[in-house]
């Protein structure tokens, strides 16, 4: 095994996409080539590893070793590579070689010609020997050559052909180190051509694709003046209309990627072609960026955003306010102090939830306004025993009120009253081999549970006048968030080493004044409140102060939903009481 390195220690550059925007002359590449006993990473074995570490055009070190594959080398492979069984008989085995190679690799970017072949063998070797594969960024010179080298220059994109095009100092000969050295020259030649196309960073190199039209690639100037900060970005057309709203921890890097990566979504590629400007909105925290994204989508309804464009189209299920209440589907919560469940994502979902409630409790389904003083004829459901017939006087107001109280208790607290009869009904249908009917009932039940879970989780936060919470920032200091009646009223960041309470006081003093929503709806669109809930429930978030209460009922819909597999988007609150 041979490892050579210059006297000056090499400064490793993190070679992952965590370093988006790293100039290519600062990136450490390890150009690697393998020789093997065959083409299958699972059935064949490595016989030689050769690698060259380079940065900024300078060779930092080389790695070369034969490897004993512990199986005979096929004659055809020996003829091709010149590596014989005798040569590898005394060579170290892969379990001895691989740790040294991984140390040599460090956190550099891997480069190979037909990289899939080499990386697959290295991953298989790491798995077989119990070593962790570092999963580096991988650059394939074959793919780059297909985009940059024409047939007029080379008959194909084999390493030997490209070595001639770029005047490599070493001729590839199917020996690992020689081929890796030739690939270094090919890489530098390809990078030179990419520089003329405006590819100057690791991110741009990793996402480069010939499928990105030059007209689109040239638009990357739109990102030049954007901030490298967390927040929201808005693509706009020539008339200033918002086409698309997105969010990122680094606005400039994310927007720039639209002009360098091959966008697989046709709608987004079309959007980029139309876009003439990008407007950034810098945010103090990632949560603020997510919330602002939702609000801007709801405000502008950009045609290239598929989700969250119409938050006002959600549906609620309520118990009507009348002598004999019934279930009704409404589009908004009114201040009538009755029971609401939801919101549901659509009217259809709300209808399924109502059907499940009717399957469990014999609430009336007629829409007439009934009076105990004016009886009316019974409907078919009453004759079938699926309604107590309060319309005829067969069910007294007191008896019907007790039924409504059971429904209200189930919707606001423990859903056992609803679940028990529905579970029994499903079991009965399954025993009768009516599996489709049982599945349909199950789906209605799950829809109901999701709506009940949503309302039981949103309502407490919507009722809290103010919650202030903090989380340690990856940049040091604290991310601070102020929530009022379920709406993000403000957020800020306290620097490393500073007293966070000074910034908490400033945040609460400057935060938005929020009027309470109509209970149980929050003072924001429900999706915003749910994002806030997810953030509050993340590990490491600390409650600084709570005005009011933030609780969920023990044994409520959250627990039942988890049992039935209808878990909410965010995990159950750790503050249940």
Where in the sequence numbering do the catalytic residues fall? Answer: 174
Name residues whose C-beta falls within 8 Å of residue 300's C-beta, 6 or more positions apart in sequence.
234, 241, 242, 245
Q: What is the C-alpha separation between 382 and 400, in angstroms, rounded?
A: 14
Name residues whose C-beta falls within 8 Å of residue 306's C-beta, 6 or more positions apart in sequence.
none
Name residues whose C-beta falls within 8 Å of residue 90's C-beta, 6 or more positions apart in sequence.
68
Pairing of strands 28-36, 46-55: antiparallel
Contact 235, 216 (CB under 8 A): no
Query: Of the candidates 419, 421, 425, which has an alpha carbon nearest to the alpha carbon of residue 445?
Result: 419
Q: What is the C-alpha separation between 32 and 65, in angstroms, rounded?
A: 12
Contact 233, 280 (CB under 8 A): yes
Name residues whose C-beta falls within 8 Å of residue 488's C-beta, 6 or more positions apart in sequence.
287, 288, 291, 481, 482, 524, 528, 532
CA 207 to chain centre: 19
Name residues whose C-beta falls within 8 Å of residue 340's C-beta, 6 or more positions apart in sequence.
316, 317, 318, 333, 455, 520, 521
Backbone angles phi, psi at 435, to 5 degrees: -70, -35
Query: Of the candidates 9, 7, 28, 77, which has an alpha carbon nearest to the alpha carbon of residue 48?
Result: 77
Q: What is the C-alpha separation between 236 and 303, in angstroms, rounded?
A: 11
CA 273 to chain centre: 25
Other CB atoms within 10 A of residue 298 CB: 18
> What are the strands of the beta sheet with 109-112, ordered from one edge?
2-4, 58-66, 46-55, 28-36, 109-112, 138-140
DSSP letter for 17, please.
G
**How many degrees, rounded to 5, is the angle at CA 444 between CA 440 and CA 449?**
145
Name residues whose C-beta falls within 8 Å of residue 391's C-beta, 6 or more positions apart in sequence.
324, 364, 366, 368, 370, 375, 376, 377, 378, 379, 382
CB-based burial of residue 217 (10 Å sphere; 0-12 exposed, 13-18 middle, 19+ buried)?
middle
Q: What is the C-alpha separation between 556 and 563, in angstroms, rounded?
A: 11
End-to-end alpha-carbon separation of the chain, Å? 64
């Amino acid at each position: 095994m041979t490892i050579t390195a210059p006297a000056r220690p090499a400064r490793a550059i993190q070679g992952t996409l965590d370093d988006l925007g790293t100039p290519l002359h600062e990136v450490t590449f390890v150009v690697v080539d393998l020789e093997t006993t065959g083409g299958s990473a699972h059935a064949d074995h490595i016989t030689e590893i050769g690698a060259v570490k380079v940065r900024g055009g300078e060779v930092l070190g080389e790695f070369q070793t034969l490897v004993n594959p512990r199986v005979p080398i096929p004659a055809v492979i020996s003829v091709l590579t010149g590596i014989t069984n005798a040569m590898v008989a005394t060579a170290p085995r892969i379990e001895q070689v691989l740790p040294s190679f991984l140390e040599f690799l460090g956190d550099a970017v891997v480069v190979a010609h037909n990289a899939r072949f080499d990386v697959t063998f290295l991953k298989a070797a790491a798995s077989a020997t119990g070593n962790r594969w570092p999963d580096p960024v991988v650059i394939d010179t074959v793919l780059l050559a297909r985009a940059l080298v024409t047939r007029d220059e080379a008959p194909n994109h084999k390493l030997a052909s490209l070595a001639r095009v770029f005047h490599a100092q070493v001729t590839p000969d199917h020996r690992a180190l020689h081929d890796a050295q030739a690939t270094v020259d090919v890489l530098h030649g390809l990078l030179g051509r990419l520089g003329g196309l405006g590819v100057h960073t690791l991110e741009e190199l990793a996402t480069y694709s010939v499928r990105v039209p030059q007209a689109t690639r040239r638009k990357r100037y739109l990102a030049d003046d954007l901030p490298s900060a967390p927040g929201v970005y808005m693509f706009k057309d020539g008339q200033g209309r918002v086409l698309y709203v997105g969010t990122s921890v680094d606005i400039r890097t994310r927007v720039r990627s639209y002009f360098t990566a091959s966008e697989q979504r046709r709608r987004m590629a079309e959007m980029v072609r139309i876009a003439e400007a990008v407007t950034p909105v810098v945010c103090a925290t990632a949560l603020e960026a997510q919330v602002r994204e939702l609000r801007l989508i709801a405000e502008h309804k950009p045609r290239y955003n598929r989700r969250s464009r119409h938050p006002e189209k959600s549906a609620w299920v309520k118990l009507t306010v009348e002598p004999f209440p019934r279930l009704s589907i409404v589009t908004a919560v009114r201040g009538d102090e009755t029971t609401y469940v939801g919101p549901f994502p659509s009217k259809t979902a709300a209808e399924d939830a109502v059907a499940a409630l009717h399957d469990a409790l014999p609430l009336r389904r007629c829409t007439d306004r009934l009076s105990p003083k004016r009886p009316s004829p019974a409907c078919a459901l009453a004759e079938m025993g699926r309604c107590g017939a309060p319309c005829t006087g067969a069910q007294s107001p007191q008896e019907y009120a007790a039924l409504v109280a059971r429904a209200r208790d189930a919707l606001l607290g423990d859903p056992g009253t609803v679940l028990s009869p529905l579970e029994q009904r499903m079991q009965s249908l399954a025993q009768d081999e009516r599996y489709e009917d049982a599945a349909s009932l199950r789906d209605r039940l799950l829809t109901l549970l999701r709506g009940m879970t949503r309302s039981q989780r949103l309502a407490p936060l919507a009722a809290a006048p103010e919650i202030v919470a903090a989380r340690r920032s990856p940049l040091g200091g604290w991310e601070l968030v102020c929530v009022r009646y379920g709406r993000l009223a403000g957020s800020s960041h306290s620097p490393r080493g500073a007293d966070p309470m000074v910034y908490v006081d400033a945040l609460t003093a400057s935060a938005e004044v929020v009027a309470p929503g109509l209970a149980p709806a929050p003072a924001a669109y429900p999706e915003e409140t749910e994002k806030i809930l997810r953030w509050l429930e993340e590990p490491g978030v600390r409650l600084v102060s709570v005005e009011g209460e933030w609780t969920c009922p023990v044994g409520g819909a959250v627990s039942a939903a988890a049992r039935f597999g209808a878990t909410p988007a965010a995990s159950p609150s750790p503050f249940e009481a």
